Structure 1
Amino acid sequence: MFKIFVTLLFLCVHILVDAQENKPFVIPELKEWKSAEGTFTPTDGGRVVYSARQPELKATAITFAEDLHLMFGSIWTVSTDKARPGDIELTLHTKRPKHSPEEYEINIGKKVRITAPQAVGIYWGTRSLLQIMEQNDTHALPCGTITDWPDYAVRGFMLDCGRKFIPLEFLQDYVRIMSYYKMNTFQIHLNDNAFPRFYHWDLMKTYSAFRLECDTYPGLTAQDGSYTKQEFIDLQILAESKFVNIIPEIDVPAHSLAFTQYKPEIGSQKYGMDHLDLFNPETYKFVDNLFKEYLEGENPVFRGKQVHIGTDEYSNKDTAVVEKFRYFTDHYIKYVEKFGKQACIWGALTHAAGKTPVKSENVIMNAWYNGYADPAEMIRQGYKLISIPDGWLYIVPAAGYYYDYLNTERLYKEWTPARIGKAVFEEKHPSILGGMFAVWNDHAGNGISTKDIHDRVFPAVQTLAVKMWTGAHPVLPFEAFDQERKQLSEAPGVNQRGKIGKGQGLVYEQSQIHPNSTLPYREAGYGYRIEFDLQGQPEAYGTELFRSPTAVFYLSDPIKGMMGFARDGYLNTFPYRVKDEQVKVCVEGDNRSTRLYINNKLIEDMQIGRQYFNGGKDSMKYVRTLVFPLEKSGNFKSRVTNLKVFQQQ
């Protein structure tokens, strides 16, 4: 009897292991997979089918058909007819969810059928299919059954747009990227300020910005980059169509220098002008009216269910200010609730422990540092937490503290939203909604580009998507996951990395580049080498060789007339001027430096350098990277031939 039991146990384990080995690779990892014989190979003329009795699926069906075309070039029609072999069918069912409202099931056979209790589950199912299909040349799907659901409802990313302006196109692409990896919460930090030590310790001269168009306070909106109200509304509409919730954040009463520089009388003389004066009635009038502009009306600028009111890192030097901070926090929780919104706050109420009551019911708290808000105590008080521990999940690009790149291996092996700093809770704790990671652009002016931010964020999205969906124990070992994840694209129609195809080595060449022409590729991403022959002619200042929407490479820069490049408002030049001579030019770039060679001689290696302040007492890293622009050639006189573009894997 014992031998029979051991044999059966061995067979069960073998079957389970075999099933997991054959499980399609998807990010986040599929919860359950049951394989069957055969494959489903899509063909041109296929249909995405949904029932006319379920019109809420129409938008997802159209999006899925468009994505199939974007990614694979195939033409799919959307139909409400009865599904037949070769179709992909989307169907809502009326069964009560077993695990989550976001759960879904996919049956792959002669046709493919995605079923779910809600439209969001159908949409996530289409993301899984696209990922599987993009991993083979025929876009075939293995036959079998997928059953999938998330462990955590909130799977998010926070981006600091206050200290560094992030163009709208980048935010739009990040909605698409997050959606592709089933990340559903995008917190956009709309105001902040740099550190005064880089501005002669003068807060009133320190860089600050508020990024939204503002009619209530003309002139408040940042001049070096902002979003119109309509742009921000349209961004949220895009996100809604992809089941991503945007949480806009106006950070008060600290991190508020943009407001006090605009209206100095509401700044705190005692705690610093980056703090609002909580004892001044004018402060409340100002902040009330600011939030009101984006919350009032039938179609407010802030469309979603949640609004973040900040409350991060205010002084706790004395009892009076602590109690006033607690009053301020409670006031703005209730203020945004009057407009039908759920308030989100940064965890600060251990740091600001006091007697003044602060509403906790139906309030979401970002739990970022346990010294500021002890998570167990916050749960006891009734807050719902988003786990965003700084020691695990904070990126501050090129700053030298927190992470420049997240430790994805450690996160994959050890972290889940149940781990907040050193506090570890039971998995799927009812008071922990999920997790989030963050990019803080603390060092304003450090040369970091949006491409540099993407280089840091994208592997983190892929890794944390697993840990926020699949939970504590993904089956695939990290080494295998890390290899496989690199084969997936960013999202349908998105190529922030600037990859040219999937190959390496020589990926593009053109015998001659004519002025004012268009090339087939927008840019070449990190790990590139660009070579061309240049029969030089003296060029006017500002003469471009190539341009893309995010960068310009100059034959003669606008300031010094040297070869160089500009992106994100930064200009970097090499010590080389184009002359009446024939030379071979080579430009190489990665996430650490940009290098120029003339006739195989290194002219300059623009590595990460340093800027010094206050007589050398303070310094900041300065980054001079470039994702090479290729989309359009400039109006140059020189002759450019034998262009070759090389790419590392």
Structure 2
Amino acid sequence: MKHGLLIPLLLSILLSPVRGLAQSDKPFTIPEVKSWSGAEGSFHYSDLCRLTPKGKEATEVAVLLRQDLRELLGDTTKAGSAGTISLAIRPTLLSDKGSEAYRIEILPDRISLTGNSRQGLYWATRTLLQLLEQGRELSCGVIEDYPDYPIRGFMLDVGRKFFSLNFLRATVKLMAYYKMNAFHIHLNDNGFKKFYSDDWDKTYAAFRLESETHPGLTATDGHYSKADFRQLQLEAASLGVTIIPEIDVPAHTLAFTHYMPSIGSKEYGADHMDLFSPDTYRVLDDLLGEYLDPADPTFISPYVHIGTDEYSNKDQRVVEQFRAFTDRYIRKVESYGKRAAVWGSLSHARGKTPVKVDDVLLYCWSMDYSLAREMIDMGYDVVSMPDRWVYIVPAAGYYYDYLDIEKLYKEWTPATMNSETLEEHHPQIKGGMFAVWNDHCGNGISQQDVYHRIFPAVHTLAAKTWQGRSGTVPYDTFDQKRRGLSEAPGVNLLARPEKDRRSYVVSSPKADSPLGLPITEIGYDYRVSFRITPGENPRGTVLFSSKDAVVYLSTPEEGLLGFERDGYRYHWDYRLPIGRETKVTIEGTNRETRLYIDGRLQETLGIIVHPEDRELKGPRYWVQTLVFPLERTGRFTGSLSDLRVEWLSN
């Protein structure tokens, strides 16, 4: 009896290492893969690996993958085997899991990537890239993966703050790397009247797209040409991301009424269109006809968002006209072969006038305007964008400055819409998004500050909209490991140093010369120090620069040490002494920029009440941050030495 018990025990001990290897831990990715079956052995990637696509679409994806491998991993030809990575599309694969499903099989000599569609195959390459950036040695096994929700993305308000095309392109790549597929661009909006002497004529407003039918509507301080916006949509589509353009009407329309005052509402303010004015409809019909012209469309994506939020409901006659307006423009968009998207407002604008339901995508964002259960019962497909969970308003003091990603990761899925929680995977819940609203125009915030808020939100919403409640990775593990992942191949808007590198030194930088560092900027948190003996220099003399920012040895107006980015200029109350060596240290975080002179703190530029709003209740805040430019030195007189760059973040 004793020998009979001992033999199985010995066998279990002998076999346990093999079993442990065969059931290796699920690899970490964002979003988490649905299933992982581990096996013995490993595959070692090097640049000697051959890509072997099958078919035209797989070849397109292979070209993108090869480029991304080089961007992400560099030259890896010094080690590894000449294995193969095959790419194929097989629509019958995981056919019940949707077109975005894919399978990855990792064997010692090859990796096979297979997708249900081009989209699924492309997502497989994103997973492979994330695995490889964590280590070139991949455990053998099989991944099968697919999303819980078909729409996963976020909305960016470019109406109140302009973002460059390069920023939008980089954001598309970030989204694609984490399998987010819907980028909603809010093209028009305006500031709050109270910040502009309560005068609508002075209040900031912008419409960001070129128009030939109404050229005076287009913002002059930053806009997109129709050709550039069309190209952005094409580039995004090639990476699996759909651009959803929004023209927000009939509220949030001060840009329209600045252009044509006659269409402004006298009852509700100039940021509302007059719903009874024929000119209102003429202008909007012209714009939609221009942007959706089948012969030369500007909006080429399948969705067009028409706004329809936050119009007054105090007069039922106006409510009925608002409902008629909404119905009209849903049908107008559909007449061009597009699908209309709207902000949910119909719980707020109750009435008898019918509004089209079928094939309309409705965003559930506020219980004051749309009750999710009611909208679903009416028949709408909905996107979950609950303001109490997923609204970012940078440095405003309300909603979120940064999303509470721990709470979201642990508690939220697209089935949670503020205090309403619906069934997981309800067929009418099409997905979820977060939003970045730049409500406080002119508050000094930079594109990179906004991106700093977007990055952790993308990680978290990508996870939750793909995996719902099926995720198994604890939050602490998720948060620790996500920080080690790249933004995307070839993207570094956070201006982080190379992996495993935390400092750089340039002993004797020359004036008016490239610094020759592998990074052109250093992001939060950082310390940059140098020794300088300036000569006579005119105001406006630049010390360091990049494409995004300059550090002034002498600011143009005051002649003080300072910096400029995104059209905002700042200075410390300090002037460098001529002919004397000074050690300058500048430390930057996402909250402040500190100046030290010869080791002593001179001044901190932090987030303060906006200088123009000191007497207001609920003022704007003034953001004084800097991602430090390190591309080249300026043309200055004097000597510069011992430039040291340190990245201080964990």
Q: 1:48 aligns to what?
A: 51
Code of the residue aligned with 2:601 in structure 1: it is L
Structure 1: tracts of 5 or more residues without a match = 1-6, 77-83
Distance 1:474-1:486 versus aligned 2 partners, 3 A rule: same
Q: 1:516 aligns to what?
A: 512
After TM superposition, give the deviation of residue 557 of structure 1 in Å: 1.1
Deviations 1:133-192 (A, max 9, x none): 0012xx222110000000000001100000001111110000000000000000000000
Contact 1:197/1:618 (<8 A) preserved: no
What does 1:192-231 correspond to in 2, within 5 Å?
192-231=189-228
Deviations 1:524-567 (A, max 9, x none): 00011001000111311111111111111111111111110111
Q: 2:70 aligns to what?
A: 69
Code of the residue aligned with 1:50 in structure 2: it is P
Code of the residue aligned with 2:412 in structure 1: it is W
1:546, 1:462 → 2: CA distance? 33
Q: 1:257 aligns to what?
A: 254
Q: Secondary structure at the match of 1:157?
A: strand
1:450, 1:551 → 2: CA distance? 11
**2:38 paired with 1:35:** yes
**2:561 paired with 1:566:** no
After TM superposition, give the deviation of residue 74 of structure 1 in Å: 3.4
Residue in structure 2 matching 1:154, options 151, 155, 178: 151
Code of the residue aligned with 2:531 in structure 1: it is D
Distance 1:363-1:600 versus aligned 2 partners, 3 A rule: same
Deviations 1:385-441 (A, max 9, x none): 000000000000011110011000000000000111111111110000000000000
Q: Which moved more, 1:237-246 or 1:514-523?
A: 514-523
Q: 2:125 aligns to what?
A: 126
After TM superposition, give the deviation of residue 45 of structure 1 in Å: 2.4
After TM superposition, give the deviation of residue 216 of structure 1 in Å: 1.1
Contact 1:31/1:470 (<8 A) preserved: yes
Contact 1:537/1:578 (<8 A) preserved: no
1:639, 1:20 → 2: CA distance? 61
Contact 2:48/2:82 (<8 A) preserved: no
Q: 1:629 aligns to what?
A: 629
Q: 1:588 aligns to what?
A: 587
**2:363 paired with 1:360:** no
1:268, 1:470 → 2: CA distance? 45
2:386, 2:615 → 1: CA distance? 35
Distance 1:618-1:423 versus aligned 2 partners, 3 A rule: closer
Contact 1:211/1:226 (<8 A) preserved: yes
After TM superposition, give the deviation of residue 607 of structure 1 in Å: 1.1
Q: 2:6 aligns to what?
A: none
Distance 1:20-1:180 versus aligned 2 partners, 3 A rule: farther
Q: 1:536 aligns to what?
A: 534
Contact 1:85/1:111 (<8 A) preserved: no
What does 1:97-496 correspond to in 2, within 5 Å?
97-109=95-107, 110-136=109-135, 139-496=136-493
Structure 2: tracts of 5 or more residues without a match = 1-8
TM-score by length of 2: 0.94
Q: Which moved more, 1:121-130 or 1:576-585?
A: 576-585
Code of the residue aligned with 2:142 in structure 1: it is T
Code of the residue aligned with 1:124 in structure 2: it is W
Q: Secondary structure at the match of 1:546?
A: strand
Distance 1:272-1:18 versus aligned 2 partners, 3 A rule: farther
Distance 1:50-1:435 versus aligned 2 partners, 3 A rule: same
Deviations 1:221-270 (A, max 9, x none): 11111111111111111101101000000000000000001000000000
Q: 1:80 aligns to what?
A: none
Q: Secondary structure at the match of 1:219?
A: helix
- Please tell me the root mean square deviation across aligned C-alpha atoms, in Å: 2.1
After TM superposition, give the deviation of residue 618 of structure 1 in Å: 4.5
TM-score by length of 1: 0.94
Deviations 1:40-75 (A, max 9, x none): 112232211112xx2112211100000111111137
After TM superposition, give the deviation of residue 16 of structure 1 in Å: 11
Q: Which moved more, 1:98-107 or 1:302-311?
A: 98-107
Q: Secondary structure at the match of 1:619?
A: coil
Q: Secondary structure at the match of 2:396?
A: coil
After TM superposition, give the deviation of residue 299 of structure 1 in Å: 3.3
Q: Secondary structure at the match of 2:459?
A: helix
Q: Secondary structure at the match of 1:205?
A: coil
Distance 1:18-1:609 versus aligned 2 partners, 3 A rule: farther
Distance 1:252-1:18 versus aligned 2 partners, 3 A rule: farther
Q: Secondary structure at the match of 1:203?
A: coil
1:94, 1:310 → 2: CA distance? 36
After TM superposition, give the deviation of residue 375 of structure 1 in Å: 1.1
Deviations 1:190-240 (A, max 9, x none): 000000010011112100000111111122111111111111111111101
Deviations 1:276-310 (A, max 9, x none): 00011111001111122111133311010000000
1:192, 1:15 → 2: CA distance? 61
After TM superposition, give the deviation of residue 453 of structure 1 in Å: 0.6
Q: Which moved more, 1:228-237 or 1:157-166?
A: 228-237
Distance 1:261-1:287 versus aligned 2 partners, 3 A rule: same
Code of the residue aligned with 2:33 in structure 1: it is L
Code of the residue aligned with 1:440 in structure 2: it is W
Code of the residue aligned with 2:99 in structure 1: it is P
1:142, 1:638 → 2: CA distance? 56
Q: Which moved more, 1:292-301 or 1:17-26?
A: 17-26
Contact 2:514/2:633 (<8 A) preserved: yes
Instruction: Please identify runs of 4+ aligned residues in structure 1 that moved more than 6 A.
Output: 14-21
Distance 1:597-1:288 versus aligned 2 partners, 3 A rule: same
Q: 1:4 aligns to what?
A: none
After TM superposition, give the deviation of residue 18 of structure 1 in Å: 8.7
Q: Secondary structure at the match of 1:468?
A: helix
Code of the residue aligned with 1:113 in structure 2: it is S
Distance 1:470-1:451 versus aligned 2 partners, 3 A rule: same
2:535, 2:637 → 1: CA distance? 6
Q: Secondary structure at the match of 1:549?
A: coil
Code of the residue aligned with 1:508 in structure 2: it is Y
1:396, 1:479 → 2: CA distance? 26
1:313, 1:249 → 2: CA distance? 15
Code of the residue aligned with 1:123 in structure 2: it is Y
Distance 1:435-1:618 versus aligned 2 partners, 3 A rule: closer
Code of the residue aligned with 2:118 in structure 1: it is A
Q: Which moved more, 1:37-46 or 1:346-355?
A: 37-46
Q: Secondary structure at the match of 1:494?
A: coil
**2:27 paired with 1:24:** yes
Contact 1:158/1:186 (<8 A) preserved: yes
1:119, 1:533 → 2: CA distance? 54
Code of the residue aligned with 1:112 in structure 2: it is I
Distance 1:171-1:17 versus aligned 2 partners, 3 A rule: farther
Code of the residue aligned with 2:427 in structure 1: it is P
Q: Secondary structure at the match of 1:246?
A: strand
What does 1:5-20 correspond to in 2, within 5 Å?
none
2:181, 2:616 → 1: CA distance? 44
Deviations 1:6-58 (A, max 9, x none): x9xx99xx99999886111100001100001111112232211112xx21122
Code of the residue aligned with 1:511 in structure 2: it is S
Deviations 1:356-407 (A, max 9, x none): 0000100001110122011111111111000000000000001111001100
Identity of aligned residues (%): 50
After TM superposition, give the deviation of residue 617 of structure 1 in Å: 3.8
1:30, 1:327 → 2: CA distance? 45
Q: Secondary structure at the match of 1:512?
A: coil
2:374, 2:454 → 1: CA distance? 31
